[in-house]
Chains A and B, each alone.
Chain A
Amino acid sequence: MGHIRVTGLGKAYKQYPSRWSRLAEWLIPFSRLRHNQHWVLQDLSFEIPAGQAVGIVGVNGAGKSTLLKMITGTSRQTCGNIELSGRVAALLELGMGFHPDFTGRQNAVMAGQLLGMQLEEIKALMPQIESFAEIGEAIDHPVRTYSSGMQMRLAFSVATARRPDILIVDEALSVGDAYFQHKSFERIRSFREAGTTLLIVSHDRSAIQSICDTAILLDGGRLAMHDRPEAVLDYYNALLAEREGQTVRQEMLSGGHVQTVSGTGEAGIVRVRLLDESECSIEAAEVGQSVVLAVDVEVRQDIERLVLGFMIKDRLGQPMYGINTHRQNQALENLCAGERITYRFAFVMGLGKGNYSIALSLSRLDSHLDRNYEWRDFGLVFHVINNRREDFVGCSWLNAQTTISRDTEVSRVEHTP
């Protein structure tokens, strides 16, 4: 249950030059086709084993929603095949079909029926829906009196009242307030642990990286990449920056990391090192150690402005810290071909135990989207170890200084019977 197999999937919308030509095509037997096919998705094949979580990324119009609609079954494919096993639930249009004049409870029943549930089933699930939505008395008031956040809460609670075998989520993670967002995400996570296959469309890098096993990149209606989330997202990032004359290449590093290097190449990164206090190159740093990130850059063509940025990411690709010389007001100007520059970023290693990677970018302005000379993911991979400090958890070392005062008077009074 929960297996998805897509083979040769394609979707085309018919475009008729005029309304009459559709009529002609329908009425005249054996007539030639009078429409153009506008392909939005083409030649898509992938397989998702049960229980996996897959992120779908791509620019607007890449065909993400169309793909999800075909998997849920609202839209029909033009060619190809979709095989699904198990029950599919979609968090695509939360609150669709809510009738403003009916109460929240009645609408919950309606929404459940629309998902194919019978009345008794919904009645049995109702207490759980109510307690998850946490909208209190309002459940018996008409939905028109609800705030949009309350509607979302209710809709999410109904849609996820039963654990589906396949759950499809389209940016709907932003349900209600921060509290409920956490709660809903937690529920999705627990479904996943129980074996639900997840399909998530999101532009939120950290959401995809923290929950997905693989990611699919759609570009212009085609499957551009299906790989580990970091690799796909790095490639996607590079693709966003792609301009004419830019190249995107990926190399396999030892340890299974995929390094993505893209850019126009007017300037390039020659060497990246992490140095300790004695200027020795290290691969592992102690928590709290003073280190220097040294980056050697080569200028290959005359450029008017150069900004170097770096970002430290954790094992899942979530950003830990990033800064660039533009934001530090240290951008270089009027550089000549052949120049070599050495950047040194000195900092105290404030990260927790784990594996980290550093992505680097050379650009003209703050964002690499404007002019991208070079973008390099996994420019350096290093470990943080903790032998000297107390054994804390988490990814940042906040170095809490603890003072404890104990008021013995009070406690003695309390304990006297």
Chain B
Amino acid sequence: MLLSLYRSLHGYRGFILGSVQREFQARYRNSLFGALWPIFNPLSMIIVYTVIFSHIMRARLPGVDDGMAYSIYLCAGLLAWGLFSEITLRSQNMFLDNANLLKKISFPRICMPVIVLINAGINFAIIISLFLGFLLVTGRWPGMALLALIPLIALQMMFCAGLGMVLGVLNVFFRDVGQLFGICLQFWFWLTPIVYPITILPEWLQSLLRFNPLTNLIASYQNVFLYGQWPAWSSLLPAFLIGAAFCAFGLHLFRQRVGEMVDEL
């Protein structure tokens, strides 16, 4: 089954890469600065958070008396969250947005999530390299621990892809799923320690938040960037298992419903 999926993906690699490239071209087509825009956006985010939180509001992480620390903490969390929300939000609409194509042209449908993943991956790579540049300039280069980003990102991509696939298929049949997930995402964001450190919460709430698979995942990013610390791999096991379950369920749902989906679009 996976082999046949791989084979159809390989056969359509030209289409997948072409679509990714086109999406970038299309987005910045009639603009003067073109390729600079994907850089300006995250750059402004980093600057805004640094200036506002560490210099204007003088926010400090508990136990660290360093102006930059909080902004790095914030950026690390936001970047990781950005990857998560981009993939899931785009995945849930990938079949609906391409309804015309799916209805009229025969190509392996599994290309759609792959295109979403690659696109989000490239966006993320741009942002991460900017952020790393920023860390280098401010003398806070995390060092070897950066290598931990590779498995971290892979794990997160898997988690997002699985969840996105489930949402994408369900959204075709029940449009409520899209609306509902939008709301869920709001709550999820604030129930994940991104803006605040988990240590400021009461004990009982902290243990509750541990059930959120993203809590440890994002904490790992924050530790890598802020302290140059390797992640505690065992703490990521739940995220891995849930992600794998999402993938298996998503793939099952996809294979089961892909035929019916076209009738419904």
Contacts and interface: CB of A to CB of B under 8 A. Distances in A.
Interface string B167-209: 0000001100000000000000000000000000000000000
B106 A113 contact: no
A90 B106 CA distance: 9
A74 B103 contact: yes
Instruction: Give the contact-size bracket for chain B.
Output: 20 to 34
Nearest to A121: B14
Given A13-B263, A19-B174, A99-B26, A113 B105 contact: no
Nearest to A74: B106
The dominant DSSP class at the B interface is: helix
A118 B15 CA distance: 8
A122 B105 CA distance: 18
A96 B105 contact: yes
B37 interface: no
A76 B29 CA distance: 37
Given A74-B262, A99-B22, A118-B14, 17 more contacts: A14-B260, A14-B263, A22-B173, A74-B102, A74-B106, A92-B104, A93-B105, A97-B101, A101-B29, A102-B26, A106-B22, A110-B18, A113-B14, A113-B15, A114-B107, A116-B11, A122-B14
A114 B11 CA distance: 11
Contacts of A75: 259, 262-263
Interface in A359-401: none
Given A110-B22, A118-B13, A96 B101 contact: yes
B100 interface: yes
A23 B174 CA distance: 8
A116 B173 contact: no
A282 interface: no
B241 interface: no
Give 9 nearest A-B pairs by CB, closest first: A76-B259, A73-B106, A113-B15, A93-B104, A118-B14, A113-B18, A113-B14, A74-B106, A96-B104
Contacts of B18: 109-110, 113, 119
Interface string A144-156: 0000000000000
Contacts of A23: 174
A270 interface: no
Nearest to A88: B106
Interface string A91-113: 01100110101100010011011
Contact of B12 (A13, A92, A110, A116): A116
Contacts of B136: none
A73 B108 CA distance: 10
Nearest to A71: B106
A72 interface: yes
A72 B106 contact: yes
Contacts of B104: 74, 92-93, 96
A117 interface: yes
Contacts of B103: 74
Interface in A321-367: none
B262 A116 contact: no
Contact of A74 (B11, B14, B29, B105): B105
B258 interface: yes
Contacts of A90: 106
27 contacts: A14-B260, A19-B174, A23-B174, A72-B106, A74-B102, A74-B104, A74-B262, A75-B259, A75-B262, A92-B104, A93-B104, A96-B105, A97-B100, A101-B29, A102-B22, A102-B26, A110-B18, A110-B22, A113-B12, A113-B18, A114-B105, A116-B12, A116-B14, A116-B15, A118-B13, A118-B14, A122-B14
